[in-house]
Structure 1
Amino acid sequence: MERKKSVIHMTTVHHPYDPRIYHKQCRSLQAAGFDVTLIARRDPKRNEAGKTIPHIMLKTYKSRLARMVFGTYDAYRQAKSLGPDIITFHDPELMPAAWALKNKGHTVIYDIHEDYITSIMQKDYLSEPVKRIVASGYKLMEKFFTRSMGLSLAEKYYEERYPDGVWILNYPTVNEKFLQHERTGPAEDRVLYTGNVSHVRGALQHAKLPVLDPDIEVHFVGKCPGDLAEEMYEVAGSASGRLHIEGIDSFIEKEVIEERYLERNWLAGIALFPPTEHYKKKELTKFFEYMNAGLPVICSDFPVWKAFIEKYECGIAVDPEDDAAIKNALDYLREHPDEAARMGENGKRAVMGELNWETQERKLVRWYDALGGSGTSGEEQEA
């Protein structure tokens, strides 16, 4: 009997039950017959129910510097001791450890979740000269450490920087409960935002919706820093009672988020992000999840986003800084329930047909099946 290939996924930054790492990649590889282990930080509130991937727990550090030094070394030590066939890492700070493991003969894949260059350039606490220096330094470091590694790309446009990368796009796992759930009757005056909440993800744009519309209620389901939540309540002012934030200073698991989709007849899923280089080319995972749940999408009218919404006829793209346009979008969905339902069904069909994790899972499994020897990389695979 052929020995199962052993695979390690390691992260010092992401939550151990991160949807892309745990629920998609780890579980898909395990289902395909790989021996999968996760190396990730400890979750003090962890719920082991239904969790089947062995989890080697790293210490959680309050200091970022301590995590980058001691957490990285611990992840390296644990991975080295297991001696896996394939190692996949998910954080830039793990590049030196991954490089050392690569040099010891392991096949290594870097799963690139973010456009880290534009992420650096949008950090408000750094001056422009410092941003440019840090971004240039990151480019050089990445080029050195990731030579001859496989590169897994979560977004299509990352191929501009990584032409040898393999698209493993962050499409959603089709949720059968969503497919069976039918939107009946008029939608409630409630809109939903899921995922991490931050300034660059439109926290303040979304927080002012109750001010723009006297009837709308906005629900956030995802981790939100406590100080940002206070800022959002201040933006909403006297309408803050119609702002509901679930996840203040706490991670919300995928299963809980999925439950929230089914609890109400939402008017729309929202993604009114301010203009930034970091997000304008992305096809947000949020889009696919809203579509999977049959919700119309109201999002910013960045060219890539607008083209996506128009292609699938699944929502409305508006200027995130135009209050009147946002209010008109909300009113349109209220006043045209049949059209809103059609948008939701269009999105659901698109996810069922092509924009789903199963299409990416097949590529992932084929790729890992082909890997094995030192030096194998994504260059052998088609993107």
Structure 2
Amino acid sequence: MKVLILTTVHRWNDPRVFHKQACTLARQHEVTLAAVDSGPERDVDGVHLKPLGIWKTRFDRPKLWWKAYITILKSKADIVHFHDPELALILLPYALVGNKKLVCDIHEHPTAAIGGRQWIPKIIRKATAFLFGKIITLAPNFFDEVILAEDSYIEHFSQRSNIHVIKNFAILPSPDLPYTERYDQFDPAESLRLIYIGSVVEERGALIMAEALLKLLQRFPGTSLDLIGKVRPPELEIKLKEIANRTGNKLRLHGYLDLIEAGEILQKAHIGLIPLQPHPNFEGSFATKFYDYMTYGLPIIATDFPIWKRFLAENSCGIAIDATEPDQLVSAITELAEQPDQLEAFSKSGYAAVREKYSWEDEGEKLLDLYSRL
């Protein structure tokens, strides 16, 4: 079958959209990916990439939506698999009269996800989130299949017969590589590498991590912090660069990196951080960063949301803290840094767990099975 995967939010090389789903489907189907990119049309790993352009301001978004809709109308695809809640509203008319099967892929909590969209004017954000949330919960009634990245928000849907949970588990670069000790020569005074992967924004703890770094350097001069992800807004980037200068560039802003590039930094890190701040979209959802860190054997320090705290305990791969203050993060990092045996135990346990229970391979088979029945 011919498949068109569509997103006006995510970059073409987004881990879930491209590396996991598009590349998996390309094993058995002819796949075109229309996504955010400014380059030429090209083939990458068996997937035909059709760039929609890029957005810089909120006013650019409607242009991409229009391009996406035209792409669908021109496409000869049998199935359109779209990833953004914004596109659900745009595709409702097509769902009623179009001849292509539509697969709606939902990554986040239906209402909270839109409520966190900074490009939506604040004065209408709450109402917009409510409206989109209601539309998304009706998605199973209009679209052929609905895919959820987590089962934590399936309760928001009354019609569930065509809902499928395909989790955002890890792509393992070396699935059969045995664990090797990484903390036997560890000395935090010489080198303590902290890492965070994801959107670099205040509500995800960007400033708290940066302020914690300043305090940690007083105790462990070899401490550094790698932030991998897009920084927004510009005012936050200015603040972080000022802190980077004060630390002698021990704070490193990498911007968005592809999986392979990020993996090279993850391999050298000592502790993975997930200090997200209290927010409905975070508290009821699961961060894929857990799997990313565990893939490389990184002990984790994360916010003590109930489902996160339970996950860390079940897999013995890290600790949960109140992440609303830098001092809490500093204390947790210090505690782990001074216990290399505990770091090693968390590292080994997480490394094993992600290979036993959280590998993308099984989820990829679920996706292929779903498509075989469409």
Paired with 2:36 and 2:122, the residues of 1 have a C-alpha distance of: 33
Range 177-186 or range 322-331, more displaced: 177-186
| Deviation string, structure 1 residues 304-323 (Cα, Å, up to 9, x no partner) | 11111111010011111344
Between 1:115-124 and 1:271-280, the stretch displaced more is 115-124
Structure 2: unaligned runs, 5 residues or longer: none
| Deviation digits for residues 58-103 of structure 1 (CA, Å, limit 9, x no counterpart) | 23344433432x3222222222222222111111232244334432
Quick one: distance in 2 between partners of 1:170 and 1:302?
Answer: 19
Q: Which moved more, 1:291-300 or 1:174-183?
A: 174-183
What's 1:10 paired with?
A: 6
CA distance in 2, matches of 1:231, 1:48: 38
**Counterparts of 1:1-383 in structure 2 under 5 Å?**
5-31=1-27, 33-44=28-39, 51-68=45-62, 70-102=63-95, 103-122=97-116, 130-142=124-136, 147-149=141-143, 150-162=145-157, 164=160, 165-176=163-174, 179=177, 182=180, 183=182, 185-186=185-186, 188-214=191-217, 215=220, 216-225=223-232, 226-234=234-242, 238-239=246-247, 241-247=249-255, 251-262=256-267, 264=268, 266-371=269-374
Once the two structures are TM-superposed, the CA of residue 230 in structure 1 deviates from its matched residue by 1.6
Query: Once the two structures are aligned, what percentage of the paired residues are identical?
Result: 27
Separation in 1, partners of 2:356, 2:111: 33
User: Does the C-alpha gap of structure 1 residues 41 and 283 become closer, same or farther in structure 2, counting only changes over 3 Å?
Assistant: closer
Q: Distance in 2 between matches of 1:298 and 1:50?
A: 35
Deviations 1:311-350 (A, max 9, x none): 1010011111344432232222222212211101111111
Q: Tell me the distance in 2 between the aligned counterparts of 1:191 and 1:49.
A: 35
State TM-score, norm by structure 2: 0.87
Amino acid in structure 1 at the alignment position of 2:98: K
Q: Residues 300 and 317 of structure 1 are in contact (CA less than 8 Å); yes or no, is this contact kept in structure 2? A: yes
Whether the aligned pair in 1 keeps the contact of 2:108 and 2:149 (CA below 8 Å) is yes
Shift of 1:138: 1.8
Using a 3 Å threshold, how does the CA distance of structure 1 residues 139 and 220 change in structure 2: closer, same or farther? Answer: closer
Relative distance call for 1:143 and 1:288 in structure 2 (3 A) is closer
CA separation in 1, counterparts of 2:224 and 2:9? 32
Return the TM-score normalized by structure 1: 0.85
1:61, 1:270 → 2: CA distance? 29
Aligned equivalents of 2:359, 2:245: Cα separation in 1: 39
SS at match of 1:83: coil
Structure 1 residues 195-236: Cα deviation after superposition (integer angstroms, max 9, x where no partner): 221112111111111222122321112222343222234567
Pairwise CA distance, 1:240: 6.2
Distance 1:232 1:177, change over 3 A: farther
**Further displaced range: 297-306 or 56-65:** 56-65
The one-letter amino acid of 2:104's match is: Y
Distance 2:322 2:211 in 1: 14
Return closer, same or farther for 1:78/1:309 CA change in 2, 3 Å cut-off. same
Number of equivalent positions: 359
Which deviates further from its counterpart, 166-175 or 57-66?
57-66
**Alignment check: 8 A CA contact 1:95 1:146 kept:** no
Tell whether the 8 Å contact from 1:233 to 1:240 is kept in structure 2 after alignment. Answer: no
Which letter maps to 1:166? H
Pair 1:41–1:239, CA change in 2 (3 A): closer
Amino acid at match of 1:27: C
Structure 1 window deviating more from structure 2 (107-116 vs 361-370): it is 107-116
Counterparts of 1:75 and 1:208 in 2: how far apart (Å)? 41
Query: Structure 1: how far apart are the matches of 2:225 and 2:174?
Result: 26
Task: Please report the RMSD computed on the Cα atoms of aligned residues, expressed in angstroms.
Answer: 2.7
**Secondary structure, aligned partner of 1:209:** helix
Taking structure 1 as reference, are residues 154 and 298 closer, same or farther at Cα in structure 2, changes over 3 Å only? Answer: same
Could you tell me which runs of 5 or more consecutive residues in structure 1 were left unpaired when the two chains were aligned: 372-383
Q: Which has the bigger relative contact order, CA under 8 A and spacing at least 6?
A: 1
Query: Structure 1 residue 155: deviation in Å?
Result: 1.8
> Are the structure 2 counterparts of residues 136 and 218 from structure 1 closer, same or farther at C-alpha, using a change threshold of 3 Å?
same
Decide whether aligned partners of structure 1 residues 139 and 49 sit closer, same or farther in structure 2, where only a CA change above 3 A counts: closer
Segment drifting more, 74-83 vs 277-286: 74-83
